[in-house]
Amino acid sequence: MKLRFTPNPNYIHKVLVVAYEAGVADRLTYVRTSPFDDAVDLGRDNPLSKVPTLVLDDGEAIYGGLVICEYLDWLGGSRLFPPPSPVRFTVMTRMVLGDGLFDTMVLLDLESWRPKAEHRVDYAQRQWDKVVRGLDRLERDAPGFAAALDIGQICVAGALSRLDYRVKPIGELLSPIDPTYEWRRGRPTLARWYDAIKQRPAMRFTVDKTGTTIHP
Ligand SMILES: N[C@@H](CCC(=O)N[C@@H](CS)C(=O)NCC(=O)O)C(=O)O
């Protein structure tokens, strides 16, 4: 199986965490793919031309990071996705919130690449409001996070790591909105939970630019 993705050791990648926790990380070949490089043939595997994309040994592709996560969880029998039950819906909703916050940070990132004079402050404000509301919800819910790791927690950890990935252009974009953009402030429970969970080996498992795995 070939995983096409953008490796970035600066933040937690949900597919890598699931691959590691499910015990299937060594069954994957990791192929660094930049979706923004027109020369790349990603569109052949995934019409949406997005990473992550998982290409199976028979050439069929699975895409949508969360679908890839569920596939790897099923392959490894690891139960990071709970079976149908009320708990599953709680976990899956948390999964969507965490993943949505990550995607919102990507949108802010893309906006920050525009020349500073062209930054759309109203657009950035709208995206940032989602981040603030999401973080406040997670601070409220954090005491109830299950002791066992699940896909909801993995996606929340991914989002928080993305918020910690503080590159200068994002700071410039957010400066008229929230100059510190420090998610930990006023959210001590979430911060404590994150500091503990990011010590798990799976959260530190990564892949370098050549596709070589770096085990914690
Ligand atoms: N939440 C989605 C996000 C996929 C996504 O938007 N990936 C970006 C990573 S930078 C991408 O490939 N963008 C390329 C594009 O939008 O053309 C997932 O996990 O599959």
Closest CA to 203 of 157, 137, 156, 147: 157
Residues 124 and 163 in one domain: yes
Tokens linked to 134: 């999401």
Residues 73 and 91 in one domain: no
What is residue 6's predicted lDDT score, i.e. its pLDDT?
A: 86
Along the 216 residues of the chain, how does pLDDT read in single tens digits? 999 998 788 899 999 999 999 999 999 999 989 888 877 899 999 999 999 999 999 999 999 999 999 999 999 999 999 999 999 999 999 999 999 999 999 999 999 999 999 999 999 999 999 999 999 999 999 999 999 999 999 999 999 999 999 899 999 999 999 999 999 999 999 999 999 999 999 999 999 888 899 988
For residue 203, report the distance from its CA to the centre of ligand 1, in Å.
Answer: 20
Residues 150 and 92 in one domain: yes
* Pocket probe mutation, ligand 1, options 16, 51, 70, max atoms within 8 Å of Cβ: 51
Residue 6 is part of which domain span?
A: 2-79+202-214
What's the CATH number where 188 sits? 1.20.1050.10
Q: Is the CB of 49 under 6 A from ligand 1?
A: yes
What is residue 216's predicted lDDT score, i.e. its pLDDT?
A: 86
Residues 106 and 160 in one domain: yes
Beta strand pairing status for 53-55 and 61-63? antiparallel
Residues 60 and 102 in one domain: no
Residues 56 and 110 in one domain: no
Residues 57 and 126 in one domain: no
* Pocket probe mutation, ligand 1, options 12, 50, 66, 95, max atoms within 8 Å of Cβ: 50
Residues 69 and 109 in one domain: no
Residues 133 and 62 in one domain: no
AA identity, residue 139: E
Residues 63 and 101 in one domain: no
What is residue 187's predicted lDDT score, i.e. its pLDDT?
A: 98
Residues 90 and 62 in one domain: no
Domain count, the chain: 2
What's the CATH number where 72 sits? 3.40.30.10
